[in-house]
Structure 1
Amino acid sequence: MNKNLFVGIDFSKETFDAAILKVSEESSIDLKIIGNEQFKNDVPGCKRFVKWLNKTCALAGDYSSVLVGGEDTGNYSTTLPKQLYVLGIDCSLQNAYSIKCGSGKIVRDKTDKMDAEKIAYYFYRFRDQIRLYKPLSKDMESLERLYSYRYGQVRERARLKCQIKEYKHILKSEPNDETLKFMIQRLEKQERFLKREIKAIEAKMVEIIKANEELNEIHKCLLSVPGIGKITSLLLIVVTRGFTRFDNPKQLACFLGVSPHPNQSGTSVQNGNHRSWFADPYFASLLHMAALSASRFNSKFIDYKKKLKSKGKPHLLIMNNIKNKLLTVAFTIATRRTKFYSDYDAKRA
């Protein structure tokens, strides 16, 4: 990637800070911050940013030497990249934790201006490894928003169910307490409403997928796998962005927290391989239920489970291995657009 202008962006709700790092044409180690500015995080603010970039760097509309990079902060970091993509300006969004770990130095001060500069240096240092931003399709953007909304409703319903259970337990020792009865009645009404709301969200997601020929084909292929139901299929499509986000099933397994990683240092730390906790706990629990179903109703997974049990492997390790195999099969089927059959082998398909 032949770039000599790296623009670091630090996003927040109302504004974003920009810092321009210039690389000297004579020496690649001669680096200098040539501009810092703050802009409103809206469309007019993005237009002001482009004008400022043109003026500060004397680009005259030629953006081939520019790379704009920032942290992926969800909704706050969508407006600017979309505007830059339309203008043909290369942009990339990276995980905030990756940028923090890749700073290469101990930082004691923290301001938006300093963060923008740190991000600019990060994108210069890892310029050969980044993936350029490409906006999601309208359908995929809608599915991601619905997934996020559903996740919030599911958590809220779980909280209400727990609260109802606790109040009913107290009611056993205080059966004449009218206040407790009233509270339980109101909470149960809220819980029933959320149950209907979650079903409505899922129906809307299915409607969007069925209207999209490519996503609908992937959905049908995933549903053919014993152990993968409607919800698991929907969420796999969203998390993988239609199976375009990851290059192989190992990357997907790592992202979802089921891939084993070593934990070893010298002679004193020998903890073996364990799954990482850098993952979505909700999806991890959903995968566990899918793995349980597969280990009961999928003949290949039933045989695999028996094989590991005969070797004396612990139950949770067996289930984690089944999750990995299930993701491998799902990834292969979805990317190759083939349906599962009893003698299916992901490696030979």
Structure 2
Amino acid sequence: MEILETIGIDISKKVIDMHLYKRDIHQQFENNTKGFKQMVKWLEKNNDVPRENLMFAMEHTGIYCYNLSLFLSKEGFNYVIIPGLEIKQSMGMTRGKNDKADAKRIALYAYEKRYRLKRHVQSSESIVKLKRLFSLRERMVKQRAGYKMSLKEQSEILLRKDNKLLLKTQEVLIKCLTKEINIIEKEIESIVTEDDNLRSQFELIITIKGVGKQTALYMIVFTEGFKKFDCWRKFASYCGIAPFPNTSGSSVRGKTKVSHLANKKLKSLLDLCAKSSIQYNEEMKLYYKKRIELGKNKMSTINIIRNKILARIFAVINRKSPYVNLMKYAA
């Protein structure tokens, strides 16, 4: 299937700006079902390229692009959702910004990269629900941590009899947030349990020593049921644990290091898994001690263990069988 025309779409809360690359024409529509239908009619009038040779391209704008992506998926259009940073870095030196210009730049980027871009596959309903619940849970956990810290500091300095309302209000908020977080976690477990595929993946991942329930759930959500990434090395790069060289010519000889462009939440979870494995997994403990005795860097060794754990997670999913600890069978 050859892509002959690209349509760049800049999405805001109320409207979408659309630009046809080859025809170099622009039009604006409402960001709702009525607007989407008008968009299709306008496209049929102003474009002679068959539907299968068209590609819509839009910047990832979270909930604002969700309804449009659902509509395009149902109508059978090819479309891609591109990270904003990827488009921004492809622009080079630019001056000024508006929605019309952004739609044109997205269309240009999609046309130049049309042979490399892969058609977006709509996530399952369970994955979409899990993503939203995890996002809400993360915000609530941060809010609770903030209240706990301020309450602790104020309790140590202020007299309770003079600040009853101040301290009591924060205590109530902490209890309320804890209760709601527990409800969200139960709902997450319920969604995973009801979906046979997600439940099977979850049970396989937690057979790996050092990998907990939270990490297993986050892995399932961010890989979209292990459909978004076909290789653990690509996912390691996404998590920010894949090392990259830092050299140029004969003068620059920097250290090989990980990139700061990463999913920091997954990186922190894999870091906790690695440290837990060093403590409780005999194989990882021996590996860590051996490298340290050889004078290797501690953080470099921990990062290697992060990658080992990630490779094992993908391995059990691809094999569809639990992890087997071969260490206990060693002579």
Q: TM-score range by the shorter chain?
A: over 0.9
Aligned to 2:102: 115
d(CA) in 2 for partners of 1:129 and 1:337? 30
* Cα offsets for 1:65-120 (capped at 9, x unmatched): 211111112111111121112111111111111111223x4111211101100000
Query: Could you tell me how far apart the structure 2 residues matched to 1:112 and 1:239 are?
Result: 29
Cα shift at 1:266: 4.0
1:312 aligns with 2:295: yes
Distance 1:47 1:157 in 2: 44
Deviation track 1:239-293 (CA, whole Å, cap 9, x = no partner) reads 1111111111111111111111222334554321112111233332222222111
Measured in 2, the distance between the counterparts of 1:101 and 1:329 equals: 33
User: Judging changes above 3 Å, is the alpha-carbon distance between structure 1 residues 301 and 176 closer, same or farther for their aligned structure 2 residues?
Assistant: closer
Instruction: State the secondary structure of the residue aligned to 2:57.
Output: strand
Superposition RMSD in Å: 1.7
Q: Which residue matches 2:195?
A: 212
Work out which of the residue numbers 120, 123, 127 in structure 2 matches 1:140.
127
Letter in 2 for 1:69: A
* Alignment deviations for residues 14-41 of structure 1 (CA, whole Å, 9 cap, x no partner): 111100012xxxxxxxxx51x2011111
Distance 2:178 2:56 in 1: 43
The answer (yes or no) to whether the contact 1:299–1:342 under 8 Å persists in 2 is: no
Unaligned runs of 5+ in 2: none
CA distance in 2, matches of 1:50, 1:135: 19
The residue correspondences of 1:56-75 to structure 2 (distance < 5 A) are: 56-58=46-48, 62-75=50-63
2: CA distance between counterparts of 1:279 and 1:170?
39
Equivalent pairs: percent with the same residue?
Answer: 31
Higher relative helix content: 2
Letter in 1 for 2:14: E
Following the alignment from structure 2 to structure 1, what is the Cα–Cα distance between the partners of residues 229 and 77? 24
Aligned to 1:163, what secondary structure does the other structure show? helix
What SS does structure 2 have at the residue aligned with 1:64? helix
Matches of 2:190 and 2:181, distance apart in 1 = 14
Query: What secondary structure is seen at the aligned counterpart in 1 of 2:273?
Result: helix
**Is the 1:237–1:243 Cα contact (8 Å) retained in structure 2?**
yes
Alpha-carbon distance in 1 for matches of 2:306, 2:58: 33
One-letter code aligned to 1:135: Q
Q: Which runs of 4+ in 1 moved over 3 A?
A: 265-269
Partner-residue secondary structure (3-state), 1:17: strand
Measure the CA separation in 1 of the matches of 2:216 and 2:3: 40
Q: Could you tell me which residue of structure 2 aligns to residue 323 of structure 1?
A: 306
TM-score, normalisation: structure 2:
0.94
Q: 2:160 touches 2:167 (CA, 8 Å); kept in 1?
A: no
SS of 1:78's equivalent in the other structure is helix
- TM-score where L is the length of structure 1: 0.89
Q: 2:75 aligns with which of 59, 83, 87?
A: 87
Is residue 238 of structure 2 the alignment partner of residue 251 of structure 1? no
Q: Distance in 2 between matches of 1:286 and 1:188?
A: 28
CA distance in 1, matches of 2:181, 2:190: 14
